[in-house]
């Protein structure tokens, strides 16, 4: 199997990403995936518990300048109810995601994390001790103390995408922050012992293949144990309304390179990779797990809030937690992979 020395530099990665035929790279990524993380596809239940956000990320429908969006914040009871239903349906990870909403102080979220960690995943395995769900937090940039409190409360993972490794593009897209600050947060999370996840969007204005090379190398530098990589999807209610969507094929290529660079990482098939045209979906459904991904996130946000968590326009299906999970398990098995 071919090894790619050019993956050491952003220019080398850019050259590889631009190859006419990517088949060999996909094959290598899939082989590495099989040898490192195996055939298991981890299913994660994501609860989008608040769309209130103090930031102004220009690509995102939740940004505070979007006055057309009806805002919501789930109560503690609603969050725990959704989590309990997901856990009893068999999910072993609950992902808590929100805009940057200061109502959720470190203490309030810590209390929710602790309650979720006490839940028990039903299992047919004859284990001596009960299986408690893992908790992933994805609530943006906070101070080190908040991150520490959540870790002590039992949080296992933290997802905070760096979005783009080009500081100039980062500044244009984020009037409220800097790439330096974001990377600092990621390094703190990693030091605190979180399974740390970053990631980026493919197809941002001004981005080049070299930028994607920098993005991929940054994942390794942080160092990340998870990476969410997906196409940018234009949201008509944002300043990037007229921008074309990112290329899903390029996003798949970036996921494959991420698998080669970070062999052991958890790589989700990002939601934005599944919000695609029917034609694209059909292409992906040839085998959506053939390029290195080993994680799928499924929304379990209650229907009455789901539509309002509109990062980008997407088709909204009714949430049927147990039924959706069974359907996903069937799909994963049909590709010869093992849902967990």
Binding residues: 53, 57, 60, 129, 163, 182, 272
Task: Kindly tell me which of 86 and 311 has the beta carbon lying closer to ligand SAM.
Answer: 311
Binding residues for [4Fe-4S] cluster: 53, 57, 60
211 binds ligand SAM (CB under 6 A): no
How many CA atoms does the CB half-sphere of 300 hold within 13 Å? 30
C-alpha Rg value of the chain to the nearest Å: 19
101 binds ligand SAM (CB under 6 A): no
Task: Kindly tell me which of 178 and 334 has the beta carbon lying closer to ligand SAM.
Answer: 178
The DSSP symbol for 92 reads S
62 binds ligand SAM (CB under 6 A): yes
Alpha-carbon distance 238 to 236, whole Å? 6
Alpha-carbon distance 21 to 14, whole Å? 14
Task: Kindly tell me which of 49 and 289 has the beta carbon lying closer to ligand SAM.
Answer: 49
Alpha-carbon distance 254 to 234, whole Å? 19
312 binds ligand SAM (CB under 6 A): yes
**Binding piece for ligand SAM, criterion CB under 6 A, among 59-67, 176-184, 186-194, 319-327:** 59-67
50 binds ligand SAM (CB under 6 A): no
The DSSP symbol for 211 reads H
Question: Which class for 272: exposed (0-12), middle (13-18), buried (19 or more C-beta within 10 A)?
Answer: buried
Neighbour tally for 1: CB within 10 Å: 7
Closest Cα to residue 228, out of 311, 145, 335?
311
113 binds ligand SAM (CB under 6 A): no
**Binding piece for ligand SAM, criterion CB under 6 A, among 75-83, 156-164, 178-186, 260-268:** 156-164
Find the shortest distance in angstroms from Cβ 21 to ligand SAM: 27
Binding mask 114-153 for ligand SAM (x = CB under 6 A): ------------------------xxx-------------
Question: Which class for 153: exposed (0-12), middle (13-18), buried (19 or more C-beta within 10 A)?
Answer: buried
The count of chain residues that interact with ligand SAM, using the rule CB under 6 A, is 19
233 binds ligand SAM (CB under 6 A): yes
DSSP per-residue letters across 193-207:
T-EEEEEEEES-TT-
3-class DSSP state of 131 = strand
- Of 30, 146, 156, 163, the residue at the interface with ligand SAM (CB under 6 A) is 163
**Binding piece for ligand SAM, criterion CB under 6 A, among 185-193, 227-235, 256-264, 315-323:** 227-235
Cβ atoms 312, 272 nearer than 8 A: yes
Which 253-292 residues touch ligand SAM, going by CB under 6 A?
272
Binding site for ligand SAM (CB under 6 A): 59-60, 62, 97, 99-100, 138-140, 160-161, 163, 201, 232-233, 235, 272, 311-312
């Amino acid at each position: 199997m071919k090894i790619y020395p050019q993956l050491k530099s952003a220019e080398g990665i850019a050259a590889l990403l631009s190859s006419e035929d990517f088949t060999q790279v996909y094959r290598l990524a899939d082989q590495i995936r099989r040898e490192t993380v195996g055939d298991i596809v981890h299913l994660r239940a994501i609860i989008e518990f608040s769309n209130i956000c103090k930031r102004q990320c220009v690509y995102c429908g939740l940004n505070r300048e979007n006055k057309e969006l009806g805002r919501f914040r789930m109560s503690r009871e609603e969050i725990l109810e959704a989590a309990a239903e997901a856990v009893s349906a068999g999910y072993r990870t609950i992902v808590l995601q929100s805009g940057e909403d200061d109502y959720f102080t470190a203490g309030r979220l810590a209390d929710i994390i602790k309650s979720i960690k006490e839940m028990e995943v039903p299992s047919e395995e004859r284990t001596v001790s009960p299986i408690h769900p893992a908790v992933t937090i994805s609530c943006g940039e906070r101070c080190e103390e908040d991150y520490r409190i959540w870790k002590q409360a039992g949080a296992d993972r933290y997802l905070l995408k760096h979005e783009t490794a080009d500081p100039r593009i980062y500044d244009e897209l984020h009037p409220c922050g800097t790439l330096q600050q974001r990377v600092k947060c990621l390094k703190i999370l990693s030091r605190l012992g979180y399974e740390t996840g970053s990631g980026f969007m493919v197809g941002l204005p001004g981005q080049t293949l070299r930028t994607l090379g920098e993005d991929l190398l940054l994942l390794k530098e942080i160092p990340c144990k998870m990476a969410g990589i997906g196409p940018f999807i234009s949201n008509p209610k944002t300043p990037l309304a007229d921008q074309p969507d990112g290329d899903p094929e390029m996003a798949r290529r970036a996921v494959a390179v991420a698998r080669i660079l970070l062999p052991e990482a958890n790589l989700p098939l990002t939601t934005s990779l599944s919000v695609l045209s029917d034609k694209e979906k059909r292409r992906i459904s040839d085998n959506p797990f053939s390029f290195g991904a080993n994680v799928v996130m499924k929304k379990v946000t209650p229907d009455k809030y789901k539509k309002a968590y509109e990062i980008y326009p997407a088709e909204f299906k009714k949430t049927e937690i147990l039924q959706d999970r069974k359907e996903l398990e069937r799909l994963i098995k049909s590709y010869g992979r093992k849902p967990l």
